[in-house]
Amino acid sequence: MAGNAVDRFWDARRRGAWDSLVAQLQRGVSITMLHEDTELSRAEFATFLRVMHHDATTTVHRCIAGRGHQIAVLATIARPKTTFECAGFYDLREGRIEVVREMWLPRGGASMMDFV
């Protein structure tokens, strides 16, 4: 898939292409999970995404670019028993993702940690 690193990152998430996903992240990427106010390493984030996207149908509803290097995404991750909304905010540098800020919200008011 062409496009920018965020397009490739979300395409890799949909396909379960984890090596391709990690390749879109800068080595020193800053990753914040806003719903838990938690910082993750690149490896921890990749593991989290493997768990959350396993047996899921992922649909990107909106991808909005601002100032060329800042991108926002709204997506739905439908798992067999629960559906999540994910709002992601990404900063690019040198063609790869330098900053990730994501907020995951389960439909129905449960806590994210109930599902991990």
> pLDDT tens across 74-89, in order?
999 999 989 999 999 9
Q: What is the CA radius of gyration of the chain?
A: 13
Whether the predicted pLDDT of 108 surpasses 50: yes
What are the sequence ranges of the domains in the chain?
A: 5-107
Question: What pTM value is reported for the model?
Answer: 0.87
Residue range 45-99, pLDDT digits in tens: 999 999 999 899 999 998 777 776 899 999 999 999 899 999 999 999 999 999 9
Which CATH number is 5-107 given?
Answer: 3.10.450.50
